[in-house]
Amino acid sequence: MEMQQIRYFLAVCDQGTITHAAQRTYVSQPSLTQAIKKLEDEIGGALFTRTHAGCQLTPLGRMVEPKLRKTYKDLQATKAEAIRFTRFNTIPLRIGLMTTIGAQRLCPCLAEYQQDFPNIELELIIDSEADLLKQLDSGMLDLVISAPTQTPALPYQSTWLYEERYVIAFNTAHRFNQLQKIDLKAIQSVPYLDRLNCELREDLKGICQNQEINLYAAYRSNSEEWILRMVKAGIGVALMPEYTLPKDASDINYRYLVDPEISRQVYAIYSHQTSAKSELLALIDNLSRI
């Protein structure tokens, strides 16, 4: 039984068809079909029932699927650890950061950690929460820092780091600079910049509907950097987490949002396997004291 056979089998399980599984694994359909056939020969029976609608697991397929998935996950994690061990002379830690997590709050902690643990190398990966958790599952990341809309549940472990309020960011020449308080109703009267990666975006839509507020965004972006640059240029205002704003940002001012106040909880998320690493536990402890 080969790793590729298990990989192709799991791809068909996840994608539902040979065509989509082949596209997902970047292999030709005949090669994938042949690999599945060899796996079925080794196991001793058909794993899928093939129909025009796609591929359905047979009773045998349903029995072996969780075992093969665990085997593949464990082998991937072992391979990743081996590669990292042979590639570096120092101990590497790979940290995943959700795209909207700002550097302002975390960088001082990382600098302090570097002084205490000079033999540790940190690699920061910026991505969506969903993709980061997949990398955590596969063993390619040691830790994910994000602001989940729900408290992470098993199989993840988590440590609460901090609460972060939302602010209205605007150019220093904007009329909002004269206000002490800003609510959602005030925002609907000015050009609004929509952050497409905001994890509270749907919640904000619900709040606006309940308060009959039309928060139409003429400008949208999935890049925090572009949103900040548009704020700086005076194109519009943005609702964003307070620590996403650079501490020394020029030409940008902000006020905390009121009526309603909105905040998010930031967590360090990790797996049972990585939690055994003393250097990772030390980093989490450092971050939890920020």
Q: Same domain for 231 and 259? A: yes
Q: Are residues 170 and 254 in the same domain?
A: yes
pTM of the model: 0.65
Same domain, yes or no: 145 and 96: yes
Question: Is pLDDT above 70 for 90?
Answer: no
Residue 86 has pLDDT above 80, yes or no: no
pLDDT reading at 116 higher than 60: yes
Band (pLDDT 50/70/90 cuts) for residue 145 is: very high
The CATH number of the domain holding residue 54 is 1.10.10.10
Name the residue with higher pLDDT: 289 or 100. 100
Whether residues 158 and 177 fall in one domain: no
Whether residues 242 and 186 share a domain: the answer is yes
Residue 120's alpha-carbon distances to 88, 105, 115, 228, in angstroms, are 10, 20, 10, 32
Per the model's pLDDT, the better-predicted residue between 92 and 25 turns out to be 25
Q: Looking at residue 276, what is its pLDDT?
A: 59
Same domain, 134 and 148: yes
pLDDT confidence of 81, banded at 50, 70, 90?
low
Provide the CATH number for the domain around residue 138: 3.40.190.10
Last residue in a domain, options 26, 44, 77: 77
- Give SS3 for 206: helix
Same domain, yes or no: 169 and 27: no
Higher pLDDT, 68 or 80: 68
Residues 116 and 137 in one domain: yes
Residue 260 pLDDT class (50, 70, 90 cuts) = confident
Residues 58 and 109 in one domain: no
pLDDT of residue 91: 63
Answer yes or no: do 182 and 254 share one domain.
Answer: yes
User: Nearest CA to 89 among 49, 118, 50, 127?
Assistant: 118
pLDDT (0 to 100) of residue 77? 74
3-state percent helix, strand, coil for the chain, nearest multiple of 5: 45, 25, 30
Q: List, for residues 232-259, the tens digit of each pLDDT value.
A: 999 999 999 999 888 777 889 999 998 8
Query: How many structural domains are present in the chain?
Result: 3
CATH code where residue 168 lies: 3.40.190.290
Q: Which of 77, 97, 123 is the last residue of a domain?
A: 77
Band of pLDDT at residue 27, cut at 50, 70 and 90? confident
pLDDT at residue 96 in the model: 93
Distances (CA, A) of 64 to 2, 3, 127, 134, 254: 15, 15, 32, 22, 55
pLDDT of 231 reads 93
| Tens-place pLDDT, residues 187-221 | 888 999 999 888 888 888 888 888 888 877 879 99
pLDDT of residue 266 exceeding 90: yes
Together in a domain, 147 and 127: yes
What residue numbers bound the domain in which 124 lies? 86-162+265-288
Which of 167, 237, 241 shows the shortest CA–CA distance to 197? 241
58, 77, 96: which is the final residue of a domain? Answer: 77
Instruction: Please give the average per-residue pLDDT across 136-164, as a whole number.
Output: 86
Q: Are residues 10 and 40 in the same domain?
A: yes
